[in-house]
Amino acid sequence: MSELAIDARDLVFRHEPTRRQRAKAPSAEPFELRLDRWQVPRGSSVALHGPSGCGKTTLLELVAGILPAASGSLEVEGRNLVNLGEGARRAHRITQVGFVFQDYPLVEHLDLVENVVLPYRLNPALRLEPTVFDRARDLLDELGLRGKEHRLPGELSQGERRRVAIARALVTRARLLLADEPTASLDPDRGLAVIELLEGLSRDHGLTLLLVTHNPALLPRFDDVLEVWRHAHGATAPGGQP
């Protein structure tokens, strides 16, 4: 088995602004992202860095199989996503990828265990067996939430909510942990604590970590840094996202 989690060659993604996007922003331009060669070893941590609109989130979504590439090769955990249809990319996303988003959304009427196992409720391809609940409780314990498994999200601090969302990203035993600006809106100390938490979890669980950030002060912590802006052409990523 290859030692690479990601191997991209001559990868090209293109996006043409929709009519609605042009109506909102008449100056919107086509967006293109190219990667001649990008390799990410298994178990490593990589920061995706660059200014807003350069395509950092776009690249994250290509790796997750959310967006289809136009051409080239993008092998993720041994499968070339460029050759896969939407159904196969969705299966890849469900089984191989854990997401940590900026806003850490939780379902307010579900307790913490049910929030963690939510991917199994939403995806019939995942089998919700008793061991999944055990794994959810173990993750909450690992993340410092022992004794709070049956509380509702509204009873938690923002930091605790963040940890529940991270547990949910890990419960499917994904091979890749993708974090999109997880320190956005946090002060430097809390932001660093989140980075240290994700680094530790990735190391302990043998995951490959890709993390989108604007913050250059965080870059020395990572095994590698991809300056996405050097590979992007055009003014705005899909939806105007960073």
Cα 53 → chain centroid: 17
Measured CA to CA, the distance from residue 48 to residue 147 in angstroms comes to 36
User: 82 φ, ψ to 5°?
Assistant: -65, -30
Predicted confidence at residue 202, as pLDDT, reads: 92
CA dihedral 132, 133, 138, 142 (to 10 degrees): 90
Ranges of each domain in the chain: 44-70+86-234
How far apart, in Å, are the Cα atoms of 109 and each of 133, 162, 234?
18, 17, 42
Using CB atoms within 10 Å of the CB of residue 65, give its burial: 0 to 12 exposed, 13 to 18 middle, 19+ buried. buried
| Long-range interactions of 129-132: CB distance < 8 A, separation 24+ | 132/171
Predicted confidence at residue 238, as pLDDT, reads: 57
**pLDDT tens for the 242 residues of the chain, in order:** 569 999 999 999 998 877 776 777 766 678 899 999 999 999 999 999 998 888 999 999 999 999 999 999 999 999 999 989 999 999 899 889 999 887 778 999 999 999 999 999 988 888 899 999 999 999 999 999 999 999 999 999 888 998 999 999 999 999 999 999 888 777 888 888 889 999 999 999 999 999 999 889 899 999 999 999 888 776 555 554 44
How far apart, in Å, are the Cα atoms of 148 and each of 91, 121, 169?
32, 21, 18
Cα 42 → chain centroid: 16
Predicted confidence at residue 240, as pLDDT, reads: 46
Predicted confidence at residue 20, as pLDDT, reads: 78
Measured CA to CA, the distance from residue 40 to residue 228 in angstroms comes to 14
| pTM of the full structure | 0.87
44-70+86-234: which CATH number, 3.40.50.300, 3.30.230.10, 3.50.50.60, 3.40.50.2300?
3.40.50.300
How far apart, in Å, are the Cα atoms of 68 and each of 8, 86, 204?
13, 8, 31
**DSSP one-letter string for 6-49:** EEEEEEEEEEPPPHHHHHH-TT---EEEEEEEEEEETT-EEEEE
Task: List, edge to edge, every strand of the sheet that includes 232-234.
Answer: 79-80, 71-76, 4-15, 31-41, 232-234
